[in-house]
Amino acid sequence: MNAKKALRISRLHLPIDSSDVKDIINITGDQAHYVRNVLRLKKGHPMVFFTQDGQEFCAQIEAVNRHDVTLTDIQVSSKPVPPSSVNITLIQAISAGDRMDYTVQKSAELGARALIPVFSEFCSHKIPANKYDKKIKHWQAVANSACEQSGRCDLLQIHPITSLKTASESHAHSGVFLEPTATKKLSDLAKSQPQDLSVFIGPEGGFSQAETAFMAQLGMMGIQMGQRVLRTETAAPVILAAVHTLYGDFS
């Protein structure tokens, strides 16, 4: 007799705390639509979900209804993926459309804790102030999906849009900025593993001279990532992978 085909186990983020997890959970709204119409899961399918406070649970789908999905047999996961060993915040100059989505997605997959979108002098993409909240919700949804698919139990937090100056003044104590003409490299950071690191990434046109001078005046170090100039959407996954290789999850 042939063995039964193993069921694919899907992961979902639920916007609740672990203290709210009971014996039965009813999923509604967008999450229920996702389970029913996108994942197309049926009764009896196993499922993994994680909560706002980073706890992971295993469950089974008891019912898939028109407006809700019921989970039962809920148990705490025995092997949750821990958060990254380095607390990395990306301060990313806003780029257009899919480029920014790519940055958010890959930052989530590679364990960044937070992403702060900023406007800098050479940003070519403009967003009307009345659409800031809509953009943040969109980027957070992109981040949440990437966290679900990559096995994370914590979320990449997308912060409100702000100016490069404001973000620099708030994160200078742990900040470095990417600059192709810099003489320092990531390996020139302290040899001990940094617990907190804020990385400033410029837009398509890079940071202006005034911006790099301002960040340097605040005590931040400019670093270059090899001989080639990286596209703005490439910089985040490259610097995250490099940090993990030298100091973090890959070391």
Read off the CATH number of the domain in which 17 is found: 2.40.240.20
**Same-domain status, 53 and 163:** no
User: Residue 5 above 60 pLDDT?
Assistant: no
Q: Which residues of 127-166 are buried (b: 16+ CB within 10 A; e: fewer)?
A: eeeeeeeebeeebbebbbbbbbebebbbbbebbebeebee
The answer to whether residue 101 is domain-embedded is yes
For 122, residues 6+ apart whose C-beta sits below 8 A from its C-beta are: 93, 202, 203, 204, 205, 206, 207, 208
Determine, yes or no, domain membership for 2: no
206, part of any domain:
yes
Residues 70 and 127 in one domain: no
Q: Do residues 136 and 232 both lie within one domain?
A: yes
Residue 204 shares a structural domain with residue 104: yes
* Residues 37 and 64 grouped into a single domain: yes
How far is Cα of residue 201 from the mean position of the Cα atoms in its chain?
Answer: 15
The CATH number for 181's domain is: 3.40.1280.10
Final residue of a domain: which of 76, 95, 127? 76
Query: Could you tell me if 182 and 70 lie in one domain?
Result: no
Q: Which residue has 């042939």 as its token pair?
A: 2
User: Can you list the alpha helix ranges (DSSP code H) found in 74-202?
Assistant: 97-109, 132-150, 164-171
What pLDDT, on a 0 to 100 scale, did the predictor assign at position 3? 46
Same-domain pairing of 47 and 110: no
pTM for the predicted model, two decimal places: 0.90
In a domain, 81, yes or no: no
Residue carrying the six token digits 């909560």 = 51
Asked, for residue 110, whether it belongs to a domain, the answer is: yes
Q: Are residues 158 and 56 in the same domain?
A: no
pLDDT in tens, 47-74: 999 999 999 999 999 999 988 999 999 9
Task: Based on the fold, state whether residues 188 and 104 are members of the same structural domain.
Answer: yes
Has residue 131 been placed in a domain?
yes
Q: What is the pLDDT of residues 153-202, one digit of tens each?
A: 999 999 999 999 999 999 999 899 999 999 999 888 876 657 889 999 99
Give a yes or no: residue 1 inside a domain.
no
Asked if 170 and 241 sit in the same domain, the reply is: yes
CA–CA dist 8, 25 (Å, integer)? 20
Task: Mark whether 177 and 203 lie in a shared domain.
Answer: yes
Residue 44 neighbours by CB distance under 10 Å: 9
Domain boundary among 44, 76, 108: 76
For 32, phi then psi, to 5°, come to -65, -40
Query: Could you tell me the residue range of the domain that residue 19 belongs to?
Result: 10-76
Domain membership flag for residue 56: yes
Q: Same structural domain for residues 117 and 18?
A: no
Which of 32, 55, 76 marks a domain boundary?
Answer: 76
Rounded to whole angstroms, the Cα distance separating 188 from 53 reads: 34
State the total domains in the chain: 2
Tens of pLDDT, residues 74-107: 999 988 999 999 999 999 999 987 999 999 999 9
pLDDT, tens only, 27-36 = 999 899 999 9
Query: What is the tens place of the pLDDT at every residue in 42-54?
Result: 999 999 999 999 9
